[in-house]
Structure 1
Amino acid sequence: MADQYAQSGEDSRPTETPVIRWDEPPEGPVLVLLDQTRLPAEEVELVCTDASALVDAIRSLAVRGAPLLGIAGAYGVALAAARGFDVDEASRALAGARPTAVNLAYGVERARAAYLAGLAKVGDSKTAAAMALAAARALHQEDAEASTRMAAHGLALLDELLPGGGHRILTHCNTGSLVSGGEGTAFAVALAAHRQGRLRRLWVDETRPLLQGARLTAYEAARSGMAYTLLTDNAAGSLFSAGEVDAVLIGADRIAADGSVANKVGSYPLAVLARYHHVPFIVVAPVTTVDLETPDGAAIEVEQRPGHEVTEVTLPQAPVSGGGGGVPVAPLGTQAYNPAFDVTPPELVTAVVTEEGVVSPVTTEALAELVARSRRAASGLGGIG
């Protein structure tokens, strides 16, 4: 069950309302989300009292973005445990809500494993639920710390590739604090450049059909005082041709073992443009986004979204008349091709920036070594220099 209430504020931060938080009112624990479908018109919180409500929020994109989906998935398992629901059933539903984003399944499994470990250790469901919640909170904190480290690694790479500063960065979709426990992935790098006085312009792809760039990235850029310009996705080629792009920075929902990158649809054309125009194409994502169990790009399951997202336009607080709840922009009965993601092959990726360092060139061996070293660091056996 979900409910909504509004909260808004004005300050220099991307959003005053937490993007995700655990709350424990008298009637029982809840997971509270900033409803991203209502931005930028208003900041409205969506309150989930069970895993099914969270699944609906994930599918509707009220909560979105690979790192945040992992955090939400973990909290969803903790919520099911705390409320006395079937944890395995909730875990399956949550993990399958958006199949391309590997972080979602990772977060779900991490909290589920903590819950099962608690049951095995003490046999008490209340204690096991507390352990699941602790796992979710730990993941939340780890993601915030990873965001800071990705920003530092990414900015250092930009300064290495583009000495002199004055970076003109093109980004796609939304990769800021709205998708993270911290300040984001690719957007966090641009924000770090801005704070250091080295960002000349952030080019923001509109990101059709759901306008995550226009609604969310522009919202975050404006709130952070960044110099930014919005463009339609199909204007990117003109921008490259005019020599106005120094680097492309995007996030990722899954990185296969060979370095193929699944990201918001429209990313692959940018990679092709970047290669033709000799512009660095940089992917910024936490190590948890690297999925060594997926061998290559062809093995990545690409989510297909409803056609009405293309044939109708839905904007916050706009009047609706279409069958999908939006304003029709195509003839009734028009079929639509609407993949949520596309896959960029590794040979088009200049570098993958993670919290543990930079992989360049992007190869199977380099990614495997990165993941192995990250796991050793997490277990206290060593780290990355």
Structure 2
Amino acid sequence: MADQQARPGEDKRPSEIPVIRWEEPPEGPVLILLDQTRLPSEEVELVCTDASALVEAIRSLAVRGAPVLGIAGAYGVALAAARGFDVDEAAEALESARPTAVNLSLGVRRGLAAYRDALAATGDPTAAATAALASAQALHREDAEASARMAAHGLALLDELMPGGGHRVLTHCNTGALVSGGEGTAFAVALAAHRVGRLRRLWVDETRPLLQGARLTAWEAARCGMAYTLLTDSAAGSLFAAGEVDAVLIGADRIAADGSVANKVGSYPLAVLARYHHVPFIVVAPVTTIDPDTPDGASIEVEQRPGFEVTEILTPQATAVGGGGGVPLAPLGTQAYNPAFDVTPPELVTAIVTEEGVVSPVTPEVLAALCAKARATPAV
């Protein structure tokens, strides 16, 4: 069950945006999410009291973005355990809520493993629920720390590629604090450049059809006082041709073992444009987004979204009731092609920035070594 509650608007640094948090009121534990479908016009929170409400929030994109989906998945397991629901059933539903983002399944599995281990050791469901919650909270902290390290590595890479500062960076979709336990992935790099006075302009793709760039990235950039300009996705080519882009920074929902990158649809055309115009195309993502079990781009399952997201302009009210009922853009009955993601091959990726360092060139061998290094490093 999910309820909505409004929050008074107030200026915050991105790291202070309460995107996801656990609370324990007298009536029982809840998971509270900032409803991203209502931004930027209003800040409204969803209060999830069970895993099914969280599944719906994930599918409706009230919470979205690979790293925070992993956190949500872990908290969802803890919520089911604390509320006395079937934990295995909840985990299965959560893991299948969105198929492309690998972090979601990793978060669910991590929480489930903590729950099962504690239950086997103690035989006490309460102790097992506590262990699942501790696991989710640890993942939340780790993601915030990873975000800070990615920002530092990414800024160093920008300065290496473009000495002197004045970076003009193009980004796609939303990769800031709304998708992370910290300040984000690609957006966090741009924010780091802004804070040291080396960001000249953040170019923000609107990101059709759900406008995550216009609604979310612009919202975050405005809160941070960044110099930013919004453009339609189809205008990116003219921006490259005018020589106005120094680098492209995007996030990722899954990176295959060969370095193929699945990200919000529209990313692949930017990679092609960047290659033609000799502009670095940089992916910023935590190591957990690299999936050794997915061998290549063709093996990535790409989520297909409902057609009405393309044939209608969705209002927050329409989105809140499950979609449809927006303002029509196309004749009734028009079929729509609406993949949520596209896949960029590794040869078009200049570098992948992770919390463990920068991968360039992007090869299966280097990615495998990076993953092995991350597995060998104890979690903080």
For the criterion TM > 0.5, the same-fold answer is yes
Q: 1:374 to 1:236 in 2, by over 3 A?
A: same
Shift of 1:378: 2.2
Alignment correspondent of 1:325 = 325
1:63-91 residue CA offsets vs partner (Å, 9 max, x unmatched): 00000000000000000000011111100
Alignment of 1:72-91 (within 5 A): 72-91=72-91
- The 2-side partners of 1:323 and 1:333 are apart by 16
Residue identity matched to 1:25:
P
- The 2-side partners of 1:44 and 1:323 are apart by 18
- The 1-side partners of 2:71 and 2:16 are apart by 19
Alignment correspondent of 1:66 = 66
Q: 1:335 to 1:15 in 2, by over 3 A?
A: farther
SS in 2 for 1:46: strand
1:254-305 residue CA offsets vs partner (Å, 9 max, x unmatched): 0000000000000000000000000000000000000000000000000000
In the alignment, structure 1 residue 295 sits paired with structure 2 residue 290:
no
- The 2-side partners of 1:45 and 1:319 are apart by 14
In the alignment, structure 1 residue 183 sits paired with structure 2 residue 175:
no
Which segments of 5 or more consecutive residues in structure 1 lack a partner in the other structure?
381-385
- The 2-side partners of 1:19 and 1:334 are apart by 35
Contact 1:172 1:250 in 2 (8 A): yes
Alignment correspondent of 1:351 = 351
Residue identity matched to 1:249:
L
Alignment correspondent of 1:102 = 102
Q: 1:12 to 1:129 in 2, by over 3 A?
A: closer
Alignment correspondent of 2:309 = 309
- The 2-side partners of 1:312 and 1:263 are apart by 23
Q: 1:323 to 1:178 in 2, by over 3 A?
A: closer
In the alignment, structure 1 residue 42 sits paired with structure 2 residue 14:
no
- The 1-side partners of 2:75 and 2:325 are apart by 29
Shift of 1:379: 6.8
Residue identity matched to 1:118:
A
Residue identity matched to 2:216:
L
Q: TM-score, normalised by structure 1?
A: 0.96
Alignment correspondent of 2:121 = 121
- The 1-side partners of 2:154 and 2:8 are apart by 31
Alignment correspondent of 1:238 = 238
Residue identity matched to 1:251:
G
Alignment of 1:156-171 (within 5 A): 156-171=156-171
In the alignment, structure 1 residue 111 sits paired with structure 2 residue 101:
no
Number of residue pairs matched by the alignment: 380
SS in 2 for 1:368: helix
- The 1-side partners of 2:323 and 2:283 are apart by 36
- The 2-side partners of 1:336 and 1:95 are apart by 26
Shift of 1:317: 5.9
Once the two structures are overlaid, the 10-residue window that deviates more, 3-12 or 64-73, is 3-12
Which segments of 5 or more consecutive residues in structure 2 lack a partner in the other structure?
none
Shift of 1:13: 1.9
Q: 1:242 to 1:291 in 2, by over 3 A?
A: same
- The 1-side partners of 2:359 and 2:249 are apart by 14
- The 1-side partners of 2:115 and 2:190 are apart by 38
- Let me know the Cα RMSD of the aligned residues: 1.7
Alignment correspondent of 2:335 = 335
- The 2-side partners of 1:306 and 1:12 are apart by 34
Residue identity matched to 1:224:
C
- The 1-side partners of 2:136 and 2:363 are apart by 31
Shift of 1:10: 2.4
SS in 2 for 1:47: strand
Q: 1:355 to 1:61 in 2, by over 3 A?
A: same
Contact 1:150 1:355 in 2 (8 A): yes
Shift of 1:316: 3.3
- The 2-side partners of 1:16 and 1:152 are apart by 19
Alignment correspondent of 1:279 = 279
- The 1-side partners of 2:25 and 2:89 are apart by 25
- The 1-side partners of 2:109 and 2:375 are apart by 16
Contact 1:8 1:17 in 2 (8 A): no
Once the two structures are overlaid, the 10-residue window that deviates more, 151-160 or 8-17, is 8-17
Alignment correspondent of 1:266 = 266
- The 1-side partners of 2:217 and 2:116 are apart by 38
- The 1-side partners of 2:368 and 2:14 are apart by 34
- The 2-side partners of 1:372 and 1:319 are apart by 41
Contact 1:252 1:289 in 2 (8 A): yes
